[in-house]
């Protein structure tokens, strides 16, 4: 079975490999990530992941296509990727010392069937000082991350606690994805075991 990841995110690629899926093609969806903000964050990420999956499945209709989209939300207010250091500063101040939610929508397509689900994880930041925010922004890391931070990078120093799937915060809820893949006859653990036997 051909597998396609409809994302250019190096983190999603890494997580798919960690799951035991080592052979797949990367075809990033090129469409704009635009959807109505009237949707709640869970429905928004589901819609965006469906759009990405639909776009790429047209190019590879014979493949199993995986697409995902992640947003950060504080009190249901969605924080996307910052477009400037000033916007990153505002986002980090909004997250400082309080919990927020990270939502990821995942869509899998194969054989004419499409399945979409979403996962959420609660993350709490410690109280950030002005210096913390200035130094973190100076690393450059916030600029391509939803919510202006990456938990797998320098942003780990900001996170005080987490409840839920850690990998969801990285952009791919691997446990939920494994269950979705099982519906299409793909078992990542079986693939990993087979790869180990071949070594």
Q: Average pLDDT, stretch 42-55?
A: 95
CA distance 114 to 135: 43
Catalytic site residue 69? Answer: yes
Q: Which CATH number belongs to the domain containing residue 72 in this structure? A: 3.90.950.10
Band of residue 36 on the pLDDT scale cut at 50, 70, 90:
low
Structural domain of 96: 3-198
One of 42, 69, 89, 165 is an active-site residue; which one?
A: 69
Res 80: pLDDT: 85
Contacts of 193 (CB under 8 A, 6+ apart): 20
- Closest C-alpha to 44, from 80, 81, 93: 80
Statement: residue 35 has pLDDT above 60: no
Structural contact between residues 73 and 91, judged by C-beta atoms closer than 8 angstroms: no
Count of structural domains, the chain: 1
Run of H or E including 100: strand 99-110
Per-residue tokens: 109: 């397509």
The reported pTM is 0.91
Res 38: pLDDT: 77
pLDDT tens per residue across span 99-129: 999 999 999 999 999 999 999 999 999 999 9
């Amino acid at each position: 079975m051909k597998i396609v990841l409809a994302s250019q995110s190096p983190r999603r690629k890494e997580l798919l490999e960690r799951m035991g899926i080592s052979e797949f093609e990367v075809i990033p969806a090129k469409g704009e990530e635009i959807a109505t903000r009237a949707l709640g964050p869970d429905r928004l990420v589901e819609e965006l992941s469906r759009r990405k999956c639909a776009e790429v499945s047209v190019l590879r209709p014979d493949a199993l296509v995986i697409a995902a989209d992640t947003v950060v939300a504080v009190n249901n207010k969605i924080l996307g990727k910052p477009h400037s250091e000033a916007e990153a500063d505002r986002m980090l101040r909004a997250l400082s010392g309080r919990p927020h939610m990270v939502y990821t929508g995942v869509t899998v397509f194969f054989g004419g069937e499409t399945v979409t689900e979403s996962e959420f994880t609660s993350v709490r930041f410690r109280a950030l000082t002005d210096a913390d925010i200035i130094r973190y922004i100076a690393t450059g890391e916030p600029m391509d991350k939803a919510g202006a931070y990456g938990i797998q990078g320098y942003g780990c120093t900001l996170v005080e606690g987490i409840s839920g799937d850690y990998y969801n915060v990285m952009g791919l809820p691997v446990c939920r994805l494994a269950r979705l893949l099982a519906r299409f006859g793909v078992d990542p653990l079986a693939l990993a075991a087979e790869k180990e036997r071949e070594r």
